[in-house]
Amino acid sequence: MTTTTLKRTTLRSKDLNCPSCVGKIERALGQTPGVTSAKVHFSTGRIVVEHDPAIAPVNDLIEIIGRVGYVAKATGF
């Protein structure tokens, strides 16, 4: 039996300029293997992702967000 260690990662994007941005990012991350949840906070630009870093590392999450047209960076909050 394997044990999955989920991690909660907070990313930030300054590119969120409309509510539809939220849906695009949440859908893209939600379809990513290893991601169990993704919540985008439009007003703050925070993107909180719960994921298995062995399957979906942070750099991959940032790349996926980039593919749907937004720039994201890892943050400490």
pLDDT attached to residue 1: 45
What would the pLDDT profile of 27-49 be if each residue is shown by its tens digit? 999 999 999 999 999 889 999 99
Query: Could you count the other beta carbons within 10 Å of the beta carbon of residue 76?
Result: 5
Of the candidates 73, 69, 58, which has an alpha carbon nearest to the alpha carbon of residue 21? 69
φ and ψ at residue 23, rounded to 5 degrees: -60, -40
φ and ψ at residue 45, rounded to 5 degrees: 80, 10
pTM: 0.89
Decide if 4 contacts 36 (C-beta within 8 A). no
Would strands 7-12 and 73-74 be described as parallel, antiparallel, or unpaired?
antiparallel
Domain-wise residue ranges, the chain: 7-74
**For 15-38, what is the mean pLDDT?**
93
**For 41-68, what is the mean pLDDT?**
95
pLDDT attached to residue 65: 96
For residue 71, is pLDDT > 70? yes
CATH of 7-74, one of 3.30.70.100, 3.40.50.360, 3.40.50.300, 3.40.50.12280: 3.30.70.100
